[in-house]
Amino acid sequence: MHNLTTLIKRLEAATSRLEDIATSTELPKDVPALKQAIASPAVESQAPTPPQTAAASAKTTSKQSEDPVPESIEEFQQFISSSVGKYVKISNELGGVVAKQAVEVLKGFQEQRKFLLITTKATKPDASTYQVILKPINDALMAVTELKESNRPDPMYTNLSAVADGIMMLAWITLDSRPHKHVEESLSSAQFFGNRVLKEQKDKDPKQVEWVQSFYQIFSDLAEYVKQNFPSGVTWNAKGEPAGDVAKSFLQTATALGTSDAGGASAPPPPPPPPGPAPVLDIKAEPVPAAPASSGGFDAVFSELNKGSDVTKGLRKVDKSEMTHKNPSLRASSAADRNGSSRGKSPAPGKKPKPESMRVKKPARKDLEGNKWTIENYDKETQPIEIETSLTQSVLISRCNNTTVMLKGKANQVTVENSTRLSLVVDTLVSTVDVVKAQNFALQVVGTLPTVMLDQVDGGQVYLSKESIGTKVFTSKSSGINLNILSGPDDEYKEVPLPSQICSYYDENKGDLMNEIVAHAG
């Protein structure tokens, strides 16, 4: 379908040029190309189009250029020149695939400007015409993604991924309700890899940090532009021309401009003479020995067996000096060879992990990304780490040792991993506290908490308030866990150990596996 559309467009362009030639009744006499064509009839078909043809085409298309450009289109062009232009400029300074990808991004916005200009002059098209008009934008979008997929080993692959995830902002023109929201959501997609570039290059390459910020600025400016000019989606001109005709006129305009530029230049020199015949290499082919009829495998085995007594005719007779059963020295040497060079090497032992004291410590971090708090790499903090949480936020605590973390407010969920001697104080949670790979862990619940999940925890204390007395605790591969529950008239904590040893046996009468907690009384 695409090839057919391209062919039709080319035929229409050729027809337009032929009509322009037909309307020209007199050709200029001072054109070098025409004189050359008269002197050399053999190259007549290669004479360039007369300049008058280009001039006629320019007159045909000048009417469109004289039409006033709507204010919204001028603002979009200003947005391309400022925001997108700055991003492209910094991308060119970085070079490589990032610069190539920026060219495709710029092309996508330029095609989008052309689309918006068409909407001001045309009525709303049918589905097939609509897809044809959108195709240049979709091609630019696919080119941006293809550059990312085909350059995975590139050291700036993270940069390519950020742009590829955010380029979907171009699709705002297809939405009829609040399209600026789509641009803002596309920014969230781009920030996954973009923030990683900011984190990794913050102290290494300030130019990449500037590049990410310029790319983020495109989203902010585009969302503001869409909100001001197209709050309810793109509108079409109800009194305009058919969209297909307007799109073709834009294509003819671009073709005519290209023709006029070519017509103003001097005529090219005649083509060089055709090259002579290619040299013939006389290489004598050596005779190839005939391949055996049998290709190996079972066919070869059976063909040998079918020879009968002739199967041993090809074997040579072994001399007594070469017989190992009559020469002990040969047996000793063959045994040494088997134990020596022919023996495979033993696999190298695996590398032991470095002790904690020799590992490079990463900087401590306490950040809020979207609705997720991340607290990591704190060690031996003298003061508690306090954060204010809301109902929609979750908290991840990772690699925090000898530290106290206090969560104020009602949060959604908390995850703790790879931490030693961590003390956690929570007010109220909607979901769970999930602890994985922790040692000497302590949890205090001030408000309510539905569930606590402990996986691979070695030693832990859980303090429950009166409101959280019904909290369910799930343990897996854990030991040394104690629940502390308020009881008695003085509201003192009572320590209740969780079982860590279970006896399992099969009950023949019940026909099922029975599990019993082992209690040590003494």
Q: How confident is the model at residue 454 (pLDDT cuts 50, 70, 90)?
A: very high
Residues in the chain: 522
Task: Answer for the pair 385, 378: CB distance below 8 angstroms, yes or no.
Answer: yes
Q: 66 burial class (0-12, 13-18, 19+ CB within 10 angstroms)?
A: exposed
Stretch(es) of the chain classified as CATH 1.25.40.330: 71-248
Write out the two tokens for 75. 């603002």
Q: What is the pLDDT of residue 8?
A: 73
Percent of the chain with pLDDT over 70: 70
Rounded Cα–Cα distance for residues 263 and 59 (Å): 14
pLDDT at residue number 263? 45
| C-alpha span between 212 and 441 (Å, rounded) | 40
Place of tokens 């902002």: 169
* Pairwise CA distance, residues 35 & 47, whole Å: 10
Q: How far apart are CA 233 and CA 293, in angstroms?
A: 75
pLDDT per position as a tens digit, 321-372: 777 776 777 766 655 555 554 455 566 666 666 565 556 678 899 999 888 9
pLDDT tier, 304 (very low <50, low <70, confident <90, very high otherwise): low
Q: Which long-range contacts (CB under 8 A, 24 or more apart) does 338-341 make?
A: none
C-alpha gyration radius of the chain: 40
Of the options 1.20.120.1200, 1.20.1250.20, 2.160.20.70, 3.30.70.2190, the CATH number for the domain spanning 363-517: 2.160.20.70
Q: What's the pLDDT tens digit per position in 18-38?
A: 666 655 444 444 444 434 433
Q: Lowest-pLDDT range, 77-81, 97-101, 160-164, 275-279? A: 275-279
Q: What's the pLDDT score for residue 152? A: 85
The C-alpha atoms of residue 416 and residue 453 are separated, in whole angstroms, by: 10
> Quick one: pLDDT at residue 99?
92
Percent of the chain with pLDDT over 90: 29
Those residues with Cβ within 8 angstroms of residue 461's Cβ, 6 or more apart along the chain or in another chain? 441, 442, 443, 482, 484
Q: Dihedral of CA 36/42/48/53: which sign?
A: positive
Q: What is the DSSP pairing of strand 422-429 with strand 403-411? A: parallel
- Determine the Cα–Cα distance for residues 430 and 415; give it in Å rounded to an integer: 13
User: What's the pLDDT score for residue 34?
Assistant: 37
Topology at the third CATH level for domain 71-248:
1.25.40
The answer, yes or no, to whether residue 302 has pLDDT greater than 50, is: yes
Ranges of CATH 2.160.20.70 domains, the chain: 363-517
Q: What amino acid is encoded at 363 in this protein? A: P
Q: Backbone phi, then psi, for 2, in 5-degree steps?
A: -65, -45
394: pLDDT strictly greater than 60: yes
